[in-house]
Each structure stands twice: as structure tokens, then as C-alpha cells.
Amino acid sequence: MAISILPAAAVGTACGPYIQVKYYEDSPDYFEISNQSGEGWTLSSLKIDLTPSVGKLIFDTIPGGYGSASPFPFQPDTGNVRLTGFSDIADGGHELVLEFADFVPGESFAFIVDVDDQLEQSEFGQAYVSDGEMTNAGITATFQGPTGKFHKSEGRFDSESRAVIGTKGCA
């Protein structure tokens, strides 16, 4: 499998691979992944890594575990996108890997999982993650292009709990 690293987002319509991942602090918390790629680009896998986040974020999946309140285990949404596998999410863990089949442009995938911060002095308390606390959490996406080759791209969440990877705009 050939892997290449692609640049971060630009403005315009996507011709190549392009996704947006958004985190929502809610009850329960959830993530939404949107494939906005150009035609023929499918999302094969996505890794979310909370380790470099400003808020020292963790997944809070079991009662009485490492989180501060209201734990919630990983639960995928039942939409058109087929989830073919996902990594075990340890309570207090930092990483989640999702594997997909047929995650084509124009489709979205959402999932629920509780996220807490580990800061001694956090903006809203450890049970609530502010947009700024999600900053710098990483994502790595693997796309399969129209020719069948695989391409890998990396990105980071911004101060609005949003990560965009890929390129918009046709060359």
C-alpha cells in the first residue's frame, strides 16, 4: 500500500481528499466526520489522538474510572457509512481508530463517547470540554483515491473543536 502525506485545507471545492471532524460537548458528547472529498475519494480509516490536546483530554467510558462524571462508552450512529472496525477505547485512554467501507464523498458518520479534561484548573470543570481544550488533538486519515492508491493525511483540532484535513481547491 503506497502512502503519501497531503497538505492541509485550502478554500474552494475539493478535487482530492478532504474531511472535516467536529467535536461537540453535549450530553453525551459526540464527534461528526464529514467526507467532503472530490469524486472517487473514500475515507478508509481515521485515528483520533487526544494526547497532544491543550486540555489533556481522555476518553471517559466507565463509571468510577478515570473521568470526572457522566461516562459514556463508544457508540456509533447508524447511518449510511459502514463502520468495519474500531479500536478498543480504554477508560482514560487517548486514542481511537475507526475503519470504514464505502465512506464516500457527501456522507457523514457520527459517534458518541464521553471526553473529559484532566486540567487542575479547567474552564468549566473536568466533565466539560471547552473548544480551547480540544485544541491540538490530532487526527490521521487514510483515503483511497480514484486509482485505488492509499493516501494519508494528518491534522489538528483548532480552537473551535474542528479539524480539517485534505485540500480544497482544484489545481
Q: Specify which residues 163 forms β-bridges with.
A: 21
Contact of 46 with 33, CB cutoff 8 Å: yes
CATH number of domain containing 72: 2.60.40
Does residue 13 lie within any of the structural domains? no
Does residue 12 lie within any of the structural domains? no
Q: Residue 124 has what DSSP assignment?
A: S
Q: Could you list the residue range(s) of the whole structural domain that residue 78 is in?
A: 18-166
The number of folded domains in the chain is: 1
Q: What is the pLDDT of residues 39-90, one digit of tens each?
A: 999 999 999 999 999 999 999 999 988 888 889 999 998 789 999 999 999 9
Does residue 119 lie within any of the structural domains? yes
For cell 461516562, what's the residue? 71
Does residue 6 lie within any of the structural domains? no
Does residue 107 lie within any of the structural domains? yes
DSSP H helices, the chain, are 131-134
Does residue 5 lie within any of the structural domains? no
Q: What is the pLDDT of residues 87-122, one digit of tens each?
A: 999 999 999 999 999 999 999 999 999 999 988 877
Does residue 155 lie within any of the structural domains? yes
Does residue 142 lie within any of the structural domains? yes
